[in-house]
Amino acid sequence: MPRLDGARPVRRRRTLDPKLKVILTSGDNEQDATSSFVGEGLAGVIQKPFMLRDLEAILRKTVNGEI
């Protein structure tokens, strides 16, 4: 996203819905990708490229409250 990192839109959306669940997707390594989300309560992280079945699994766990 030009001129906007991933954490800022999450913070903005959470002002509207504090219970918002966020799954981060990134091509960076997990530590680098999540560093700007410390304290933001990510529901999960999935590394790019990913298989559809992996995305389905993390979405299912998030929706079912397992994460």
Structure tokens at 29: 């390594």
CA distance 45 to 43: 7
- Which tokens go with 2? 């030009």
Q: 1-54, pLDDT tens digit by residue? A: 566 678 888 888 989 999 999 999 988 888 888 888 888 889 999 999 999 999
Model confidence over 52-66: pLDDT tens digits? 999 999 999 999 988
Report cis status (omega within 30 of 0) of the bond before 49.
Answer: yes
DSSP per residue, 20-63? ---EEEESS-HHHHHGGGTTS--SEEEESS--HHHHHHHHHHHH
